[in-house]
Homo-oligomer: A and B are copies of this chain.
Amino acid sequence: MTLNTYLQHMNGSYLFTEIVNRTQAYQAAYPDAQVLRLGVGDVTRPLAKPVIDAMHRAVDELAHPDTFRGYGPEEGYEWLRQTIIDHDYRPRGIDLTPGEVFISDGAGSDLGNLSELFDRTNRVAVLDPSYPAYVDATTMAGRAVTFLPSHAENGFVPDLPKEQADLIYLCFPNNPTGTTLTREQLQVWVDYARKHRSIIIFDAAYEAYITSPDIPHSIYEIEGAKEVAVEVRSFSKSAGFTGVRCGYTVVPRETGMTAMWLRRQCTKYNGTAYVAQRAAEAIYTPEGKEAVRADIDYYLGTARLIREGLQDAGLQVFGGVNAPYIWCRTPDGMGSWEFFDWLLHRCRIVCTPGAGFGPGGEGYVRFSAFSPRAHCQTAIKRIKENI
Give residues in A with beta carbon < 8 Å to B: 1-5, 7-8, 10, 12-13, 42-47, 49, 52, 55-56, 59-60, 62-65, 68-72, 105-106, 108-109, 111-113, 116-122, 133, 136-137, 140-142, 166-167, 197-199, 236, 240, 242-245, 256-257, 259-260, 263-264, 266-276
Q: Are B270 and A106 in contact (CB under 8 A)?
A: yes
Q: What would 25 A/B residue contacts be, using CB atoms closer than 8 Å?
A: A1-B118, A2-B121, A2-B122, A4-B117, A5-B119, A7-B117, A13-B267, A42-B70, A44-B68, A45-B65, A46-B63, A49-B63, A55-B62, A59-B275, A70-B240, A109-B269, A112-B268, A133-B267, A137-B267, A137-B268, A140-B263, A243-B273, A244-B273, A244-B274, A275-B275
The CA of A7 and the CA of B256, in the complex, are separated in Å by: 13
Question: Which residue, of A10, A116, A166, has the highest number of chain B Cβ atoms within 10 A?
Answer: A116
* A242 with B70, Cβ < 8 A, contacts A260-B8, A269-B109 known: yes
Taking CB atoms, residues of chain B closer than 8 Å to A259 are 12
| Of the residues B245, B256, B257, B270, contact of A270 by C-beta under 8 Å | B245
The CA of A60 and the CA of B116, in the complex, are separated in Å by: 38
Question: Which residue, of A49, A121, A276, has the highest number of chain B Cβ atoms within 10 A?
Answer: A276
Which 8 A-B pairs give the minimum distances between C-beta atoms?
A112-B268, A108-B270, A70-B242, A2-B119, A42-B70, A1-B166, A243-B274, A136-B267
The CA of A42 and the CA of B72, in the complex, are separated in Å by: 10
**Additional A-B contact list (19), CB under 8 Å, known A3-B256, A7-B264, A8-B260:** A2-B118, A2-B166, A3-B119, A4-B118, A7-B116, A45-B65, A56-B59, A59-B275, A70-B240, A72-B243, A105-B245, A109-B270, A111-B268, A120-B120, A120-B142, A136-B267, A243-B271, A245-B270, A245-B271
- Return the chain B residue nearest A46 by Cβ: B68
The CA of A43 and the CA of B56, in the complex, are separated in Å by: 21
| Of the residues B42, B267, B274, contact of A140 by C-beta under 8 Å | B267
- Return the chain B residue nearest A135 by Cβ: B267
- Return the chain B residue nearest A271 by Cβ: B245
The CA of A32 and the CA of B256, in the complex, are separated in Å by: 41
Taking CB atoms, residues of chain B closer than 8 Å to A1 are 118, 122, 166-167, 197-199
Q: Are B3 and A117 in contact (CB under 8 A)?
A: yes
Q: Are A243 and B7 in contact (CB under 8 A)?
A: no
Taking CB atoms, residues of chain B closer than 8 Å to A69 are 243
Q: Are B108 and A105 in contact (CB under 8 A)?
A: no
The CA of A123 and the CA of B245, in the complex, are separated in Å by: 34
Question: Which residue, of A44, A62, A70, has the highest number of chain B Cβ atoms within 10 A?
Answer: A70
The CA of A52 and the CA of B62, in the complex, are separated in Å by: 8
- Return the chain B residue nearest A62 by Cβ: B47
- Return the chain B residue nearest A6 by Cβ: B119
| Of the residues B2, B45, B70, B263, contact of A10 by C-beta under 8 Å | B263
The CA of A133 and the CA of B268, in the complex, are separated in Å by: 7
| Of the residues B12, B43, B71, B198, contact of A242 by C-beta under 8 Å | B71
Taking CB atoms, residues of chain B closer than 8 Å to A45 are 65, 68
Taking CB atoms, residues of chain B closer than 8 Å to A62 are 46-47, 52, 55, 243-244
